[in-house]
A and B are shown apart, each in its own frame.
Chain A
């Protein structure tokens, strides 16, 4: 149980285009979803936290207009990288929790999406 999927697993796009990454909880309702970014040989950096039906809370330094997060249902969150540039190339990982963020330390992670911007 507690499986989280991401799609696509890899995406290559041209500079200036937008890319959408999906994160789905397959067997539970995800009250809270988190989006992380991971650079090679570095730790996961939290980008934003979202609760179903409300606006995402972005971490300091993360451009909310560039990284659009939508958590429209209890099983799906999307991250859209708008007008992508080579410096946005990274590994994006989502996680989901059946509980509100403030009352749990449980997160189930997706396998990640490798974004390469040419």
Chain B
């Protein structure tokens, strides 16, 4: 059973499009949620944390539904520079755990001119 599942992608969209990524996680004890971005052959970089109330950072909006164990990321007005793989990440961070990050496989986004 996969712990974090994402849309397989790839998503090919024109500049200016709105694109949405979805993610589900299997462990209801998960405590923290993130979207990371990974460029080809580079390290993951934090894009944004995801809070229960939903949060927005410029063109990016993240939502969390704990009841459905579902996380989403919306990118508005996509730019060429948004082309990357988007990783859904959860953190257990409970009890004695140091809270290792559990990654989804990622969804590749390609924004075309």
Q: Do chains A and B interact in one complex?
A: no
Interface residues of A (CB under 8 A from B): none
Interface residues of B (CB under 8 A from A): none
